[in-house]
Amino acid sequence: MLPKIIHQIGNNQPSAFISRCLQSWSAVDEIGFERVFWTDDDILSFLASEYPHVLAMFKEARTMQRLQILPGILLFTILAATI
């Protein structure tokens, strides 16, 4: 079974609007979900630790490319941990 985790991605200092949007998800906490907020620094540290061969490519990618790459990597990591 997949863990009940919602991964939220944003930069190191989200704007007030983005912070309110992220906080609007707090209702899912009551039904057993965990929310994890990934900052730019968190993502780079995670990739350096777990997927160093992907790090250089990720750093060169544009924002939209990063937003497409990261969910796949996170999903792969979560699924691999549940097997």
Helix ranges (DSSP H) in the chain: 16-23, 40-50, 52-60, 63-82
- pLDDT > 90 in the chain, percent: 51
Q: How far is CA 52 from the centre of its chain?
A: 17
The number of folded domains in the chain is 1
H or E segment at 36?
A: strand 34-38
Q: Convert the pLDDT of each residue in 7-27 to its tens digit.
A: 888 888 889 999 999 999 999
Compute φ and ψ for 51, nearest 5 degrees.
-140, 60
Can you give the residue range of the structural domain that contains 23?
A: 5-82
